[in-house]
A and B are shown apart, each in its own frame.
Chain A
Amino acid sequence: MTLPDFSLNRRAFLGRAATGIGALALGSLLNPRMLGADLPVEEKWPGVVRPLHWPAKAKRVIHLYMAGGPSHLETWDYKPKLKEMHGKPMPDSFTKGQQIAQLQGKELKCFGPQHDFQKFGQSGQEMCALFPHLGKMADDICIIRSMHTDQINHDPAHTLMNTGSGIPGRPSMGSWLLYGLGSSVDNLPGYVVLTSAGKGGQMQPLAARQWSAGFLPGRFQGVRFHSKGDPVLYLGNPPGTTREDQRGVIDAINSLNARHHAATHDPEVLTHISQYEMAFKMQASVPGLMDVSTEPASALELYGAKPGDGTFASNCLLARRLAERGVRFIQLYHRDWDHHGGIKNDIKLKAGEVDQPAAALLADLKQRGMLDDTLVIFGGEFGRTPMGQGDGRDHHIKGFSIWMAGGGIKGGVTYGATDEFGYAAVENPVHVHDFHATLLHLFGIDHKRLIHRFQGRDYRLTDVHGEVVKAILA
């Protein structure tokens, strides 16, 4: 294309910026095609935390979000005592005065773990036997068995897990991270959301609020990629319009906009021009990203993915491709973990869907030397009761498990513990706020110093709480 002549505008604009806006804002106002073309992306789109509060261990997150509330008792937290007590009344001392969801007013009976556990790896981490593939990665994984949260229903619990508050309207952790660190990629969104459903029947809804930027500017929001149709909404050109046609239209738009800027000196016009350039880049880069046909058959086999099937396995492979391209926060929602009934079979089904791909992701990252600076998180919004609900379990917030790997986290470690019934986190409890504080810490951010003012108040991802879990840092 012919580049519009920016020379005059640039001078006029710099004049304005130098007097009015200040040198700090300058960098982010300039068009990369004008000035910053050779700068590293981080320099072009800086975050608000500059410099970092301390050196970062992690550069990106892959969050394997098991939506619906996975049972810790059939995954990462073995409770022989509960097995022994199966069918007997749950001791009143645990449950009295505690918040309960669907079991309100029902008789509370112990419900033993439905699957066996075994020890894996050198570290001998105890994990459910349904996860043999992840078992092979046990020495890279840190299991936290002492998570707890405040929200007992899916919707607010997801909102708390993602934003640090049960009240809608706050930014999600991915948005905070982008806001703090800036983007490290300029032809893809910095925060990408992928979703998969699975084959069970317990599909709890999922709101776009979970990846919303809340009160932060909209450009920090997560962008959901779709497995059907345009991977990013409105990505495809109109019918009968080739990439060259589109280039021609965008050139005309930008050329007229540049002239408009020359007349008005409105810096917003420059922003607008750059967004069209980036949109055009995305139109090429996203399909390339989604096209896994370039992957060797061995990679597909490793993950157990078929191109374009939209499964969790395919999403894990895409997550790795996104990570390679520099996307900062990658969130994979896998739904259908809400096992109020039939937990024995359903959890087996879920394990079958996620075990191999999640392990493949870890192995793949490791083999590429990327696990060191990629934080992988596996977990849901809450856990499930040690008390049975028929042949399933109810929502539970007093104790549950997640695991993390890579990105500055110690491998082969089990941290914290619930009591012998798996009811409450009793040893080294980790609240969602602590989890958030730790996450930011790994990125070189002091969670108490990443703030944004809204409605007269300084907000943080961790609100007024949060302690970094130092013991699990590598």
Chain B
Amino acid sequence: MNYFSSNSERGLLLAAGLLLSALANSAADSVSFNRDIRPILSDKCYACHGPDKNARKGKFRLDLEAEAKARRDEHFPIVSGQPAASGLVKRIFATDPDEVMPPPKSNSQLTPREKELLKQWIAEGAKYEAHWAYLPVTRPTVPSVPGAKSKIENPIDHFLLARQQAAGLTPVAEADRRTLIRRLAFDLTGLPPTAAEVGAFVKSKDAKAYEKLVDRLLDSPRYGERMTVNWLDLVRYADSVGYHGDQIISVWPFRDYVINAFNANVPFDRFTREQLAGDLLTNATPATRIASGYNRLGMMSTEGGIQDKEYLAKYAGDRVRNTSTVWLGATLGCAECHDHKFDPYSTKDFYRFAAFFADLKEKGWYKDGFDKGDWGPQLKAPTPEQQARLDAFDKQIARHTAALAAITDEKLAAGRAAWEAKIRAFDKGQKLTGSNAPAVKAESTAGTKLEVVKDGEILASGPLPAHDDYTVTLPARLEHIAGFKLDVIRDDNLPGNNVSRAGTSFYISEVEVTFTPDKKSRLQPVKISGATADFAEEGHPALATIDGNPRTSWGIGFLPGRSHNTTYTFARTLTGSPDAFFTVRIRHSPDHPRQHLGRFRVSLTAVPADVLTAVQLTGEARKEAHEKTIAKFYRTIAPELEALRSQLNLARAERETLTGKIPVSFVSESTAPRVMRVLARGDWMDDSGEIVESGAPHFLKQIVKPARATRLDLADWMTAPDNPLTARVFVNRLWKMYFGTGLSRNLDDLGAQGEWPQQLDLLDWLSDEFMTGWDVKHLARLMVTSAAYRRSADSTPLLEERDPFNRLLTRQSRHRLDAEFIRDNALAISGLLVEQQGGPSVKPVQPAGYWAYLNFPRREYASDAGDSLHRRGLYTHWQRTFLHPSLLAFDAPTREECTVSRPVSDTPLQALVLLNDPSYIEAARAFAEKILRQGGRGFDKRLAFAFETALARPPKAEEAQVLHDLFEKQWRRYQADKTAARQLLTIEDAPAPKNADPELAAWMQVSRAILNLHETITRE
């Protein structure tokens, strides 16, 4: 698809070396190994003359100074200060194809400039330097910038200005306040400022207005949500397992842990320890154990026929890749099959790193993942409030059970005798069939087509309203009726999991029964005293269908689709007649739209034959066993017990429902460590490799400990003050969040193939500052309160020419919002946004059939209802193999692997999302309603309101003209065609306003235009 360049593409060109920055050192400057030479050697030479011993050619390596300068046969490759005597120079300048290096066949060719640099470096003494990122951070002195005319807010500005001065560049002025508040709001909270907030900030006379704004935004709970989006990309958080059937799992409490941690400003070293080893801490809490779910976020498989050992190896490799990338900016994953080609990581380092995680209790093949939802250790962590309620229910249940037991069979004797007499008095002359008669009629309230197909089985088809109830009528020709049975029948023609009309489950909130004994009588409601299901999803007990509460329900959940049933007992037995009939009304759960029964049967159940037989026996014939049989049955219908039974049912239904709401999350559980071996060429079937112990990469400082180094030791090692990588990695990534590009462009690789940081001094100063307390908010505040951050994004021809990629930060940058924030922004602008922090992931509207290629179980997406449709993007259900298409279109990663930096593309599919996705159509309608409601009178005022709301600025005259023309045209059109206006304004799950107002429809089209603007989805 198409086809225009974007930021990332320009990055490509840069990386491909097609472009030389105007800032590159002139040859007159002295050459620095780390800045100038290592990138060349690493990129062009190390693949054959670097750390990987198996790929090394001619037994020669250039990455070690001693070897590069040692005698080889009759010459020296590098002779310090003497390019003419250096073999390397001869070879790179050679013209003979057999002589020249790199060989002509190779993909890596040196440019003339690179050759000159290598020569100059040797001429200047061929000084090697240790790789910058592996040297400990030392705090540089803050440079003074005498005579600087630009504003200086904090040390960041000193470092930047010093470099800018050296380059002879002057930064641009500060952005206006409208731009600043919108920039800050997006960067710190991921949401736009309201028009009122913009107004107040613009007008404020307070000298500290900016700093106060920063504080307010950092204190907002939205800050944690914003930070969490990027963290979840890194740790590859998702709501499904990823491999094969991509089954749905519950790990959202981990996501909430991250939000809370950022909001509470948990120091980054503790944040690290809790995720890697929250289970091993001496003061472990449910929260830290949920944090330890980090180790369980990788993909998992339940595919039949996979080998446990192979997948354990896959999971181990995944963990090494993830942890080393997230914390160390290291591509240690490259060393799984061979020594790293560019960095000193050896294959043994890879497996030593993997060994830190060898104690995790896990399986390669989660055999019961699909059938039973068993994916390894989980923690159920009720909130204190939930725990209190559980305890209260337990007490209630115990009390009611005791009270029921206290009413002994003796106390029920009189009532029972009367009931027995009634049974015995039944007139057999009515010639009832004694057997069950199938349903004769089935109706729906909202338009679903129901028909009785065979033996009382009812099939639903036709329209699928979001909410619908079914009513089944069935003759009552049984003699003694005890209750009824509801069979939910699997039908392969039903979508998804084959048990309902949508989604993977059905949810029945209530069943209600009436009885009409004969032609003369009116129908009478029948009380149900018990419900037992053959299976129920946790949190959805059968009793929930008789508790009178529409928000509780019975369902089977995300498991293989099979037929299931519930048996209901009436509170009294009823006697049939040739004309008697029942109606059973099945109410579907309002919280699970469309997940309605597809094929089912309702059939009456008789009083058990053994009870009836026993009742007929009197005098001598009746034995103790008969008494017991009758007494036991009678307790289920005794009116004397009804009140208590109801209370008990209610308590049980509520308790079970609550159980389903208790947060469940994967956690780390430590067990005897598995033996870890180096796998030759990564081959998991090869058991001949050396056994390794956990440990840090060999060339970095080692963990010294008599016992096995644990995950906790790894966390401590990574956050020790002398670890050179962790702080730099985090600082560099946070810098990118606020400035658009990292100080070192490669956020995921601080190794030899990474980029020499534009300003190592600044990176190190910030890293050192960060390590004193690992205070993330402090670091964020430092960055966003710098003068550099506040600059305008507008450039000048001079700056464009001298520093086209703005690596010296003389100006701010523009970048498109991330996928989730594009959605959040539209919801916030339109006023639809529901701000509720945390909880299970939600399912906004998604096109039908998008999940058709998932299986085990088959499933169909069922969107949520109500508030859940309008939550922030980070709460959207993250299905790894089929991520929500409008997030995916805007480059949200599938989170199968770690994503450090999302690619940014601009495609026609994105245009289609913003133009036509029903979520954005709904936002446009809500925005239009808001404009008419709050925007005052007349087009100009209303458009001004719309612009202030969406863009934090008033419209320009020419913009107003364009939109006015659009508005006029659309208004005339919808006045002429009210049907079209009604169609536009009608949105599923959000009823249209009563009168299809052409003005509203026209404003809706104007709103669509505004929501689609490049500026709307861009942070400046």
Contact = CB atoms under 8 A, between A and B. Distances in A.
Contacts of B970: 245, 248
B246 A456 contact: no
B1014 A215 contact: no
B746, B749, B1013: most-surrounded residue (chain A CB, <10 A): B1013
A234 B2 contact: no
Contacts of A255: 962
Given A19-B801, A29-B5, A264 B1009 contact: no
B698 interface: no
Interface string A216-242: 111111010010111011111111111
A204 B881 CA distance: 13
A295 interface: no
B814 A264 contact: yes
A249 interface: yes
B111 interface: no
Contacts of B4: 28-29, 270-271, 274-275
Interface of A: 15-16, 19-22, 24-25, 28-29, 44-45, 97, 99, 101-102, 104, 152-156, 167-169, 178, 182-183, 186, 189-191, 195, 203-209, 212, 215-221, 223, 226, 228-230, 232-242, 245-246, 248-253, 255-257, 259-260, 264-276, 278-279, 282-283, 335, 394-395, 448-449, 451-453, 455-458
A278 B15 CA distance: 29
Nearest to B1004: A238
Nearest to A29: B5
Q: Which of A186, A219, A276 has the most CB of B within 10 A?
A: A219
A22 B881 contact: no
A449 B907 contact: no
B856 A205 contact: yes
Interface centre among B15, B748, B908 (most CB of A within 10 A): B908
Contacts of A206: 853
B794 interface: yes
A168 B314 CA distance: 11
B310 to A, nearest CB: 8
Interface residues of B, number: 122
Given A208-B881, A245-B970, A256-B959, A226 B849 contact: yes
B853 A279 contact: no
Contacts of A238: 916, 918, 921, 984, 1008
A15 B883 CA distance: 40
10 contacts: A99-B307, A152-B305, A168-B894, A178-B1, A205-B244, A217-B905, A241-B980, A241-B1005, A266-B1014, A278-B2
Contact of A266 (B331, B814, B847, B856): B814
Contacts of A458: 107
Given A252-B962, A259-B959, A236 B3 contact: no
Contacts of A233: 847, 850, 885, 909, 912-913
B301 interface: yes
Contact of B5 (A28, A265, A278, A279): A28
A259 B1013 CA distance: 11
A458 to B, nearest CB: 7
B794 A21 contact: no
B176 interface: no
Contacts of B880: 207
Given A45-B3, A104-B307, 14 more contacts: A19-B797, A28-B5, A226-B847, A233-B885, A234-B847, A234-B913, A234-B917, A240-B981, A255-B962, A259-B958, A264-B794, A274-B3, A455-B748, A457-B342
Contacts of B891: 218
B402 to A, nearest CB: 51
A102 B304 contact: yes
B973 interface: yes
Contacts of A276: 908, 911, 915, 1012
Interface in B724-771: 746, 748-749, 751-754
A223 B912 CA distance: 13
B849 A228 contact: yes
Given A235-B916, A240-B985, A456-B749, A25 B13 contact: yes
B2 A183 contact: yes
B104 interface: no
Given A204-B855, A226-B849, A212 B894 contact: yes
A223 B849 contact: no
B912 A217 contact: no
Contacts of A155: 243-244, 301, 303
* SS class, residues of chain B in contact with chain A: loop
Contact of A154 (B244, B888, B906, B1012): B244
Contact of B907 (A20, A169, A219, A394): A219
Contacts of B752: 456
B78 to A, nearest CB: 24
Contacts of B973: 245
A123 to B, nearest CB: 37
Interface in B858-907: 858, 880-883, 885-886, 888-889, 891, 894, 896-897, 903-907
B246 A207 contact: yes
Contacts of A212: 894
A257 B1014 CA distance: 6
A326 to B, nearest CB: 12
6 closest residue pairs by CB, A with B: A456-B753, A20-B804, A240-B984, A240-B983, A207-B881, A101-B305
Contacts of A260: 1013-1015
Interface in B654-693: 685
Interface string B951-983: 000001011001101100110011000011111
Interface in B422-462: none
Given A205-B245, A248-B966, A44 B334 contact: no
A307 B1018 CA distance: 43
Contacts of A19: 797, 800-801, 804
Contacts of A15: 797, 800
Interface string B220-257: 00000000000000000000001111100000000000
Contacts of A102: 304-305
A182 B984 contact: no
A214 B973 CA distance: 45
Nearest to A227: B849
A21 B3 contact: no
A178 B3 CA distance: 10
Contacts of A232: 909, 912
Contacts of B1012: 249, 253, 276
A205 B855 contact: yes
Scoring A178, A208, A235 by chain B CB atoms within 10 A of each residue's CB, the highest score goes to A208
A282 B880 CA distance: 27
Contacts of B905: 217-219
A248 B969 contact: yes
B1001 interface: yes
Contacts of B908: 275-276, 278-279, 282
B1 A217 contact: no
B80 interface: no
A259 B883 contact: no
Nearest to A389: B305
Nearest to A274: B4
A219 B1014 contact: no
Given A219-B905, A234-B917, A275 B13 contact: no
Contacts of B904: 217
B906 A209 contact: no
Interface string B786-808: 00000001110100110011000
Interface string B52-65: 00000000000000
B18 interface: yes
B303 A153 contact: yes
Contacts of B19: 21-22
Contacts of A154: 244, 303
Given A249-B1009, A266-B814, A215 B903 contact: yes
Given A217-B905, A253-B1012, A265-B795, A167 B912 contact: no
A240 B980 contact: yes
